[in-house]
Structure 1
């Protein structure tokens, strides 16, 4: 783990984003959808699970979560 190598954690950045194949939501491949959810949502949750305790142990810090603009703006055949 990074804390063991570098000392206390003070900053964490979660930046993972993949997009499904563009198609109407009713035609999306379910395995493709699951892969996107696993990377974009679960990936952040997995990171936070370890980042939060490490930051609290070091007295605090910051976490930056970066998302795709498709998550806020959407688009034709781009399920958000």
Structure 2
């Protein structure tokens, strides 16, 4: 079993968390974990977007020419969805 701890938050925040937990029928910890997961994912994609925006045209061309970056699936292959269970 994992250990638990107490954190101090304002009553307003606790009430917001509790309302979300009740609405979603999950424990408070799940609400907090989901919020953190979503925040981390937004941060990740913001960094990806910023890195992409910073690429020069030459960098983009190098990525486009790199065959290891591209998918190896032929989009014209109708069996792809059946073969991969899509």
Task: Name the TM-score, length of structure 2 as normaliser.
Answer: 0.30
Which structure features the higher share of helix residues?
A: 2
Task: Name the TM-score, length of structure 1 as normaliser.
Answer: 0.31
Relative contact order, higher structure (CA 8 A, sep 6+): 1
Greater gyration radius? 2
Which structure features the higher share of strand residues?
A: 1
